[in-house]
Structure 1
Amino acid sequence: MAFSCAAECALSLACARWPARRLSLSGADDSASWPAASPASFASVPRACRAALAAYDDADAGDVPPPSPLCPPYRLLHDRARGEVVLAVRGLGLARPEGYRLVLDAGGPEPFAGGHAHRGLLRAAVWLLEREGPALRRMVAEAGPGRCMLVFVGHSLGAGVAALAAVVAVRCWLGRLRLRREDVRCYAMAPPRCMSLGLAVEYADVVHSVVLQASPLSAEIAAS
C-alpha cells in the first residue's frame, strides 16, 4: 500500500511539473530563441501600434462603430498618403462581457483552411469582414489597382481576430477587393494562439506576430 501511494504521488508530481512550468513562463520565455527583428522588418511596427491604440480610443463616437457582441471594438482608417486601408481591432476590455464570450466560444478546434482555428475568434473575423466589406471595397477602389495595401492590426484578443481576418481575406476576398496576396498585411501585437501551426507557417508572409521582450542589446542601450 505504501509503495502504491508513493508511486501515485510521484506520478502526480511528474504530471504537475509541465503545467507548473508553463504557468511560470511568459511570452518572452517562449520566444527567447527567436532571432531579433531587423530594423527594416520592424519599421512598420510603431505605426501599426499607433493604429492598435486608436482602436482603444472611443472618444469620437463618429469614428467608432457601435459595440457588437460578435467582435471587439475596432476602427477602420484610410491613410491616403501611404496608400493603406487599416482595420485595427482592440484587445479584451475588462468591463466588456462580449470579449469574454469570444474567448470562451472555443468549442474544440474549428476546422478551417486545412487546419484549425479558435471558433469564437474566427467567427468574429468573418463577421468583421462581412460588416466592413463595402467600406473596404470602396477605399481600395479609391486608391486604384496596385496602389493600396490592406493592413490588419490588433492587440491581444484583437490580434487573434485581425490575424484570422487577414487569412480569410487572402483566401476569400482578394478577388472582391482586387488585391494580391502581397497587398495584405497583418501586425498582431501579443497575439493569442488562434490557429494551428500549419496555418501559421503557411501565412507567415502575411501575418506578422509582434512580441516585445528584453534582450542583452536593449539592456545595453538602456544602460548607455
Structure 2
Amino acid sequence: MSLICGLPVLECVYCLACARWVWKRCLYTAGYESENWGLASVDEFEPVPRICRLILAVYEDDIRNPQWAPPGGYGINPDWVILRKDYVDTQGRVTPYLIYLDHDHADIILAVRGLNLAKESDYAIFLDNKLGQTEFHGGYVHNGLLKSAESVFDAECEVLRDLVAKNPTYTLTFIGHSLGAGVVGLLTILALHNRDKLGIERNRIRCYALAPARCMSLNLAIRYSDVINSVVLQDDFLPRSTTGLEVLFKLLFCLPCLLCIMCLKDTCTVEEKKLKDPRRLYAPGRLYHIVERKPFRIGRYPPVVRTAVPVDGRFEYIVLSCNALSDHSIIWMERESQKALDLMLEKDRYMEIPAKQRMRRQESLAQEHSEEYQAALRRAVALNIPQAYSPSKYGTFHEMEVGEDSGRSSGKGSLLSPTNREESWNEFVERLFDVDDSGQMVFKK
C-alpha cells in the first residue's frame, strides 16, 4: 500500500525533472558557448567572406556566366581557375572542387563544396563509404571523409606541387563548406604529413573549414589548431551533431527528431566521459563563432565574431533553434561574415591605426595565438584527453615535425622524448665533450 502511495510522488519528481531539463534546453543559446572567448581581429577574419564567395562559385556550372552570384559577384578571375572537377571526374568519391590561383592575395586555393540536396549522387559519396571512425596519425577521424580526402590528395598532388614550385611565396590554402569542410580538414593533415611531396613549409599551409562536420578526435582538433580554422554561424547544427552521417542524412528532413535524439543523448552523457572518449569526433582547429542573435530578442543584430581554441565546451550541445538549418547555409555565412568584417573595418578606420602599429598588432596577434595554442595543448593533457601531448618547455624547435610524425612512427625515440627534454645542461655537455690533459673541452670522437 505504501508503495502504491509513493508512485504519484515519483511521477511528480520525474515530471519536474523533465520540465527542468526542457526549460534549460530551451534557454540554452549558442551565445553561451563563446561568451568568454576573445574577439577576432580584422587581419585574421578578413579572408572568410572572400572564401565563402569562392566556395559559392564551385556550385556554378559556368563561372564565366554565373547564375547565383551574390551582390558584387564572386570576386574571382575565371582565367586563374587552374582546374575544376565535377562528379564525372571524381567518380563519386568527393563533391565537386576547384583549384584557384589567387594572385591578388598570393594564395593557391583548393575549394571543396558541400552537399547539394538536389543531387542524389551527393549522398552516395559519403554513404557508400564505410562509416565510423578510423585511426589516423595519433587520433581518430571519420572514415568516409578520410577516403574522400585521400582521393583528392592523390589526384591533385602533382598539380599542387607544380603550383607551389612556380609560386614559392604563395600560401597553400584548403577551403570547404559543410561535409566539404570535413574533407579539407583531413586533407590539410595529409598535406602536413606529406610536405616533402608538395615541397612546401608548414607555415605556408592553412585551412578554413566553414560549418564543418565533426571529423576528427579532440587531440587532433587541438594539435592542428595553428593551421586549421573553423567558422560557425550562430546555431548551426552540423558542428554540434555527433550523430553518424548515415543517421543524419535519414533525419535531415525531420529536424525535430534529430534535435530530440541529440538532446537526450547529450544530456545523459557525462562531459568527462565525452572528453575521454577517443572515438568521439569534433569540429577541427581554431573556432570562429559568428553571433548575431540574442535570447528573448527578435531579429538579427550586428554580428560579433569570437575566437578561441577551446578544449572542453567545444560545441557540445545541439541548440533548439528554428535557425539551426538556415545558419548552416553558405549564403547566410557569406552575408553575415561580410557584415561582421565591415563592422571591424569601420572600427579600425575610426581608430586610425598607423601602419607601424598595425604591424606590431599583427605580431602580437601571432604571439597571442601561439600562446593560446600552447595553453590548449596543456589543457588537453590536464584533462587526460587520450593521446594528447604537452608542448616542449624549451620552445618549439622541431616540435611540430615530431608531433606530426608521432602517428606514423612507433617504438622509435624522438628528439623531444620525455627523457631528452628533462636532460640537464651538464649532462648534455658531458655527453658531447671530453676534457683533455690540458684541461680544455674537446668534442668526443
TM-score (ref. length: structure 1): 0.80
Task: Give the 5 Å matches for 1:1-224.
Answer: 10=14, 17=21, 21=25, 30-60=33-63, 63-67=83-87, 68=90, 69-104=92-127, 105=129, 107-144=131-168, 147-171=169-193, 173-211=194-232, 212-214=290-292, 218=302
Task: In structure 2, give the amino acid aligned to 1:165.
Answer: L
Task: In structure 1, give the amino acid aligned to 2:114.
Answer: G
How far is 1:33 from its partner?
A: 4.0
How far is 1:120 from its partner?
A: 0.9
CA RMSD after TM alignment: 3.2
> Which segment is superposed worse, 38-47 or 154-163?
38-47
Task: In structure 1, give the amino acid aligned to 2:44.
Answer: S
Tell me how far apart the structure 2 counterparts of residues 94 and 76 of structure 1 sit (CA, whole Å): 23
Give the secondary structure class of the aligned counterpart of 1:179. Answer: coil
8 Å CA contact 1:156, 1:192 repeated in 2: yes
8 Å CA contact 1:80, 1:143 repeated in 2: no
8 Å CA contact 2:57, 2:63 repeated in 1: no
Task: In structure 2, give the amino acid aligned to 1:75.
Answer: L
Task: In structure 1, give the amino acid aligned to 2:176.
Answer: G
8 Å CA contact 1:160, 1:193 repeated in 2: yes
Over residues 165-188 of structure 1, what are the superposed CA-to-partner deviations in whole Å (9 max), with x where a residue is unaligned?
A: 1111111x2111111111101011
Tell me how far apart the structure 2 counterparts of residues 33 and 101 of structure 1 sit (CA, whole Å): 40
- Flag the 1:91–1:219 CA change in 2: closer, same or farther, 3 A: closer
- Flag the 1:28–1:101 CA change in 2: closer, same or farther, 3 A: farther
Over residues 67-108 of structure 1, what are the superposed CA-to-partner deviations in whole Å (9 max), with x where a residue is unaligned?
A: 131101111101234331100011111022343234444632
How many residue pairs match? The answer is 213
Higher CA-based Rg:
2
How far is 1:21 from its partner?
A: 3.8
Tell me how far apart the structure 1 counterparts of residues 115 and 61 of structure 2 sit (CA, whole Å): 14
Give the secondary structure class of the aligned counterpart of 1:204. Answer: coil
Tell me how far apart the structure 2 counterparts of residues 219 and 81 of structure 1 sit (CA, whole Å): 27
- Which structure 1 residue ranges, 5 or more long, are not aligned? none
Tell me how far apart the structure 2 counterparts of residues 157 and 112 of structure 1 sit (CA, whole Å): 18
Tell me how far apart the structure 1 counterparts of residues 102 and 45 of structure 2 sit (CA, whole Å): 19
How far is 1:215 from its partner?
A: 6.3
Give the secondary structure class of the aligned counterpart of 2:216. Answer: coil
- Flag the 1:219–1:205 CA change in 2: closer, same or farther, 3 A: closer
- Flag the 1:164–1:98 CA change in 2: closer, same or farther, 3 A: farther
Task: In structure 2, give the amino acid aligned to 1:34.
Answer: W
Structure with more contact order per residue of length (Cα contacts < 8 Å, sep ≥ 6): 1
Q: Percent identity?
A: 35
Tell me how far apart the structure 1 counterparts of residues 177 and 219 of structure 2 sit (CA, whole Å): 22
Tell me how far apart the structure 1 counterparts of residues 28 and 180 of structure 2 sit (CA, whole Å): 22
Tell me how far apart the structure 2 counterparts of residues 10 and 102 of structure 1 sit (CA, whole Å): 44
- Which structure 2 residue ranges, 5 or more long, are not aligned? 65-80, 233-289, 295-300, 305-342, 344-445
Tell me how far apart the structure 2 counterparts of residues 182 and 50 of structure 1 sit (CA, whole Å): 25
Task: In structure 2, give the amino acid aligned to 1:39.
Answer: V
Task: In structure 2, give the amino acid aligned to 1:168.
Answer: L
- Flag the 1:127–1:50 CA change in 2: closer, same or farther, 3 A: same
How far is 1:4 from its partner?
A: 7.5
TM-score (ref. length: structure 2): 0.43
Task: In structure 1, give the amino acid aligned to 2:52.
Answer: C
Tell me how far apart the structure 1 counterparts of residues 151 and 215 of structure 2 sit (CA, whole Å): 16
Tell me how far apart the structure 1 counterparts of residues 216 and 182 of structure 2 sit (CA, whole Å): 9
